[in-house]
Structure 1
Amino acid sequence: MFPEKRDRWGIHGPAQARENAWGMGWWRYRVPGLGHVDWARLIDRLYEHGYRGVVSVEPEDPVWGGTEENVLTGLSAARRTLTRHVMTSPR
């Protein structure tokens, strides 16, 4: 997160005239494990409140995109981060 940019553009970021496709302003997409989210706490709260649905990862991180190899590397990082926190059902 970039607080100085949030203060300039507000929570929605620049709505027009973005310099590039990833110019979201005060934040950018990150795969789980590489950003500021405390995934253990977030998933714990979901369970506490009865959520038993799916946790989906969308590969929109600009660092881990552009090529199939990059996307697979980013998804592997997300899986390593989330696997230890998510209950799985037997197959």
Structure 2
Amino acid sequence: MSRGTAEDVAPHRVMEGNRPPNVLLAEVLTPYREAGHPSQGTIWGIDSFDQWGVELGKVLAVAIISELESATEPEFGHNSSTNALIRHYRTLKD
């Protein structure tokens, strides 16, 4: 007897990777500034409201928030793009 959900029942989502992220860094986020985000996703074939992506974003946010708020420069263990965005954010908030 196996444990867990049967393979034919569990939904699977393939994360192809190597897709450009949409990142908004603004002092004030307004509907006008945010309007381009879903449009960019449409152009690049990315579903900006994909639930799998939203859930992955929440997991990543929990891991990254302490690095954004740290008083000292943390050690980054992400890909180069994410590390650069965190550093840029930390520069902007100072």
TM over 0.5: no
Identify the structure with the greater helix proportion.
Answer: 2
Give the TM-score normalised by the residue count of structure 1. Answer: 0.26
Larger Rg computed on CA atoms? 2
Choose between structure 1 and 2 for higher RCO, CA contacts under 8 A separated by at least 6 residues. Answer: 1
